[in-house]
């Protein structure tokens, strides 16, 4: 595919403008690339999307359809660029397919248009950390500008096309929705990393009468696009547990896994190697990153040295400082499942010294496994409201040993934990649930936490 004229004279619908800079960046790129018309449609209204809308005002070939979608905008166009998270059962996507209109997602379209080698990372947990680990090491070791895209805040994948050079390499964090786009395109990254597979997003996949097992299978099928279309020259880095599921998937799908498969284990890391990010799960993340980097022929010594300097990712067990009382504070905002919160607690606690801020919206993932860990390590639990919080409280009410309170806002939660925490304690913000309800998205939740907590640090 030729990126220089791909959009020229085409009518393109961009489904999902959004608030994070991705959709608006993609729309702006398409408009500037010579499209005849760019129809930008979003169910949110113009007031909600004011910041994004303002960035498109100067394009005469952009038409905004906000507060609604119109079937005609998906039928009488050359292609539709679909935002991540649009339901597969959307009648608008069905209308486009019936009309013979090609559907794309921006991450996969970048891969096809750029032609650059892609190191793609997915998994229920750890994909952000592994992605940024790989990017950090490549940047340090090669000294070159390495592209970073996919599910990265504020990054438009199509705008990345402007940065592509002959020797470019791109590391991409790919969630299950972006991997739907790789499936539509019939492509996979040259190096694929699949960190783990756990319950998540069941509120998205548990539709249309699907059972729990069917919902999990649909979730895995989207994730599987990271390795499904790899050539024999590709490399698939994962764990034994995920590979066993991948083999089952391949048998059921009637496909052969002919690429090189590398199973990562923490034993590949030097025993005395100290990481700046805490937790055994981050050593596993480092092992996955190491195997992906090794596939690129980087020397072991340089990989290990660079991994020790990796500072972590904002909102993912990020150490942000200590309170005046001497309590260490970690921001684990992106822990949106109970399992992720469990990993965060285990990484920072050494006895019952955790003051935990949690709570949010239910994603059909049972919080019951989190309760024993709370009993073991959490001295005070402060909860923000949400349907997931209600589920967790129902589990906690049967156990009087857990000291928990519910507050109305995240600001109140921060004030409460700072007042309670003593020297030697750890304040951990690790919600365990989704952000919708109180916040527009998880990024707003992260920003509110940082705005409230940072001024209270010593």
Question: How far is residue 437's CA from residue 52's CA, in Å, rounded to a whole number?
Answer: 22
Distant-in-sequence, close-in-space partners of 382: CB < 8 Å, separation ≥ 6: 355, 356, 357, 358, 404, 405, 406, 407, 413, 416, 417
Looking at the chain, the number of H-run helices and the number of E-run strands are: 18, 17
Question: How far is residue 16's CA from residue 27's CA, in Å, rounded to a whole number?
Answer: 10
- How far apart, in Å, are the Cα atoms of 268 and each of 136, 264, 306? 19, 8, 15
Place of tokens 């052969």: 256
Domains and CATH numbers, the chain: 11-104 (3.40.50.720), 108-308 (3.40.1190.10), 318-456 (3.90.190.20)
Q: Which residues of 208-246 are buried (b: 16+ CB within 10 A; e: fewer)?
A: eeeeeeebbbbbbbbbbbbbbbbeeebbbbbbeebbebb
Question: Using an 8 Å Cβ cutoff, are 382 and 432 in contact?
Answer: no
- Where helices occur in 122-211 by DSSP H, the ranges are 127-142, 176-185, 202-205
How does pLDDT run along the chain (458 residues), one tens digit per residue?
556 699 999 999 999 998 778 899 999 999 999 999 999 999 999 999 999 999 999 999 999 999 999 999 999 999 999 998 898 889 999 999 999 999 999 999 999 999 999 999 999 999 999 999 999 999 999 988 899 999 998 899 999 999 999 899 999 999 999 999 999 999 999 999 999 999 888 888 888 788 999 999 999 999 999 999 999 999 999 999 999 999 999 999 999 999 999 999 999 999 999 999 988 999 999 999 999 999 999 999 999 999 999 999 999 999 999 999 999 999 999 999 999 999 999 999 989 999 999 999 999 899 999 999 999 999 999 999 999 999 999 999 876 678 899 999 999 999 999 999 999 999 999 999 999 889 988 999 999 999 999 999 99
Question: How far is residue 219's CA from residue 384's CA, in Å, rounded to a whole number?
Answer: 28
164: closest CA among 110, 112, 114?
Answer: 114
DSSP 426: E
What phi, psi does 186 have (nearest 5°)? 70, 40
- How far apart, in Å, are the Cα atoms of 81 and each of 20, 27, 42, 94, 294? 16, 9, 12, 14, 34
Question: How far is residue 134's CA from residue 291's CA, in Å, rounded to a whole number?
Answer: 10
DSSP lists the bridge partners of residue 331 as 318, 429
pLDDT value for 209: 80
pLDDT value for 1: 53
E-assigned strand segments in 302-442: 318-322, 328-331, 354-358, 378-383, 404-406, 426-429
| Size (the chain), residues | 458
Q: Is 115 helix (H, G, I), strand (E, B) or coil?
A: coil
Question: Using an 8 Å Cβ cutoff, are 393 and 424 in contact?
Answer: no
Question: Using an 8 Å Cβ cutoff, are 282 and 317 in contact?
Answer: yes
pLDDT value for 400: 63
Query: What single string gives the DSSP state of each residue in 56-67?
Result: TTT-TTEEEEES
* Residue 39 structure tokens: 């129809």
DSSP lists the bridge partners of residue 79 as 12, 102
Question: How far is residue 108's CA from residue 1's CA, in Å, rounded to a whole number?
Answer: 12
DSSP lists the bridge partners of residue 436 as 439
280: closest CA among 331, 347, 344?
Answer: 347
């Amino acid at each position: 595919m030729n990126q220089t004229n791909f959009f020229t004279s085409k009518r393109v619908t961009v489904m999902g403008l959004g608030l994070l800079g991705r959709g608006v960046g993609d729309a702006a790129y398409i408009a500037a690339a010579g499209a005849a018309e760019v129809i930008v449609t979003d169910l949110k209204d113009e007031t909600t999307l004011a910041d994004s809308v303002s960035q498109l005002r100067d394009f005469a070939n952009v038409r905004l359809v906000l507060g609604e979608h119109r079937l005609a905008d998906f039928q009488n166009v050359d292609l539709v660029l679909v935002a991540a998270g649009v339901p597969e059962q959307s009648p608008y996507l069905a209308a486009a397919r019936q009309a013979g209109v090609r559907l794309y997602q921006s991450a996969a379209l970048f891969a096809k248009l750029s032609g650059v080698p892609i190191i793609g990372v997915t998994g229920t947990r750890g994909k952000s950390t592994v992605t940024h680990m790989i990017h950090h090491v490549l940047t340090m070791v090669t000294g070159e500008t390495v592209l970073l895209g996919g599910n990265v805040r504020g990054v438009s994948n199509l705008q990345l096309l402007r940065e592509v050079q002959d020797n470019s390499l791109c590391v991409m964090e790919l969630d299950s929705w972006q991997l739907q786009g790789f499936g539509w395109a019939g492509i996979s990254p040259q190096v694929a990393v699949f960190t783990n597979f756990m319950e998540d997003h069941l509120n998205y996949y548990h539709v249309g009468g699907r059972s729990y097992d069917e919902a999990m299978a649909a979730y895995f099928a989207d994730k599987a696009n990271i390795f499904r279309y790899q050539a024999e020259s590709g490399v698939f880095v994962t764990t034994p547990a995920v590979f066993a599921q991948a083999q089952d998937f391949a048998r059921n799908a009637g496909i052969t896994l002919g690429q090189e498969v590398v199973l990562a284990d923490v034993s590949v890391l030097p025993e005395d190697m100290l990481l700046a990010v805490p937790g055994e799960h981050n050593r596993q993340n480092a092992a996955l990153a190491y195997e992906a980097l090794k596939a690129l022929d980087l020397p072991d010594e340089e990989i290990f040295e660079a991994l020790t300097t990796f500072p972590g990712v904002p909102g993912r067990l990020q150490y942000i400082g200590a309170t005046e009382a001497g309590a260490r504070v970690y921001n684990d905002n992106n822990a949106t499942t109970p399992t992720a919160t469990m990993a965060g607690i285990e990484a920072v606690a050494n006895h019952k010294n955790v003051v935990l801020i949690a709570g949010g919206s239910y994603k059909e993932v049972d919080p019951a496994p989190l309760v024993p860990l709370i009993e073991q390590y959490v001295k005070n639990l402060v909860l923000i409201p949400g349907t997931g919080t209600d589920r967790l409280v129902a589990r906690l009410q049967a156990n009087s040993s857990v000291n928990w309170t519910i507050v109305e806002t995240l600001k109140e939660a921060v004030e409460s934990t700072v007042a309670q925490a003593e020297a030697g304690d750890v304040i951990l913000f690790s919600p365990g649930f989704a952000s919708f309800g109180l916040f527009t998205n998880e990024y707003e939740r992260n920003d509110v936490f940082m705005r409230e907590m940072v001024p209270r640090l010593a």
